[in-house]
């Protein structure tokens, strides 16, 4: 009954390939996304993943596998997709720019571990985040934490850029925020075309960072060789 529909859907998905289709800077969450507790979600995912492994022919009575469904469920809810829970969003405390620093501040080489929402495979790379103060500054570690929070979701890299920039713009009260991400997508590197050398670079520039001279300055900072021995 559903075979024809499923074949057509598979054709559409194959044609889309790895195209990054997203209509919003928000992750596509249902309205009832948070009605279940984390523990309820873990139990449901445990059962679902047990069924997946069973379907693949794995012996879940084996000592090496019998704990895998629960481990995966906990990892999904509390770790790699923990950023879906708004309660985990870091508090972005800001402070008066009492020392009147008026140049850009760049936090570069922030580690990104995310997950491609198309194949649920890792995205691994670096984010470079910058802002120009309009009276408020933020702790350096908060910039790392906001990258980590939005990365811990099924993601599209372009959306991740936008979410990081918008969160910092709101916290700092300025449009002058930018984010560049350079990352490897294992959905490209380890399957499909199997291109292990390629990486994906995306950016989001707000306010003054849209100006060519400011953008160029940011790119020059990112390329600085900051090695410490």
Q: What is the pLDDT of residues 172-188, one digit of tens each?
A: 999 999 999 999 999 98
Domain 94-222 -> CATH class: alpha beta
Classify burial at 198, counting beta carbons within 10 Å of its beta carbon; exposed 0-12, middle 13-18, buried 19 or more: exposed
Catalytic residue chosen out of the listed positions 107, 118, 128, 163:
118
Question: Does 117 qualify as catalytic in the annotation?
Answer: yes
Mean pLDDT, residues 102-131:
97
Give the span between the Cα atoms of 184 and 176, in whole angstroms.
27
Give the span between the Cα atoms of 126 and 201, in whole angstroms.
10
Question: Does 187 qualify as catalytic in the annotation?
Answer: yes
**177 - beta bridge partners?**
131
The structural domains of the chain, with segments of one domain joined by +, span 32-80, 94-222
Predicted local confidence at residue 37, as pLDDT: 96
User: Which among 87, 176, 184, 48 has a CA at the least distance from the CA of 126?
Assistant: 184
Give the CA-trace dihedral at 157, 160, 166, 171, to 10 degrees: -150
200 neighbors 183 (Cβ within 8 angstroms):
yes
Catalytic residue chosen out of the listed positions 20, 38, 43, 119:
119
Predicted local confidence at residue 11, as pLDDT: 52
Question: Does 118 qualify as catalytic in the annotation?
Answer: yes
Task: List, as one string, the DSSP characters of 108-135.
Answer: EEEEEEEEETTT--EEEEEEEEEEE-SS
* Residue 12: band (very low, low, confident or very high) from pLDDT cuts 50, 70, 90: very low
Predicted local confidence at residue 202, as pLDDT: 97
Domain 32-80 -> CATH class: mainly alpha
Greater confidence (225 vs 92) lies with 92
* Residue 5: band (very low, low, confident or very high) from pLDDT cuts 50, 70, 90: very low
Q: What are phi and psi of 160, to 5 degrees?
A: -60, -45
Catalytic residue chosen out of the listed positions 116, 128, 163, 204:
116
Catalytic residue chosen out of the listed positions 128, 179, 185, 204:
185
Predicted local confidence at residue 9, as pLDDT: 42
Predicted local confidence at residue 76, as pLDDT: 98
What the block records as the tokens of 129 is 């985040």
128 neighbors 110 (Cβ within 8 angstroms):
yes
pLDDT reading at 43 higher than 70 = yes
């Amino acid at each position: 009954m559903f075979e024809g529909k499923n074949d057509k859907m598979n054709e559409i998905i194959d044609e889309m390939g790895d195209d990054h289709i997203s209509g919003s800077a928000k992750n596509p969450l249902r309205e009832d996304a948070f009605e279940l507790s984390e523990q309820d979600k873990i139990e449901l995912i445990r059962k679902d993943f047990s069924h997946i492994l069973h379907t693949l022919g794995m012996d879940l009575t084996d000592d090496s596998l019998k704990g895998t469904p629960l481990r995966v469920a906990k990892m999904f809810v509390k770790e790699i997709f923990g950023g879906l829970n708004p309660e985990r969003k870091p508090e972005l405390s800001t402070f008066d720019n009492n020392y009147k620093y008026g140049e850009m501040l760049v936090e570069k080489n922030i580690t990104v571990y995310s997950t491609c929402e198309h194949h649920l495979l890792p995205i691994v790379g670096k984010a470079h985040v910058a802002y120009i103060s309009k009276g408020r500054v933020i702790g350096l570690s908060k910039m790392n934490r906001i990258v980590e929070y939005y990365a811990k979701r099924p993601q599209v890299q372009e959306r991740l850029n936008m979410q990081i920039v918008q969160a910092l713009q709101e916290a700092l009260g300025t449009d002058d925020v930018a984010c560049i991400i350079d990352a490897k997508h294992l959905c490209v590197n380890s399957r499909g075309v199997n291109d292990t050398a390629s990486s994906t670079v995306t950016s989001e520039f707000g306010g003054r960072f849209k100006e060519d001279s400011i953008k160029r300055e940011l790119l020059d900072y990112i390329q600085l060789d900051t090695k410490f021995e």
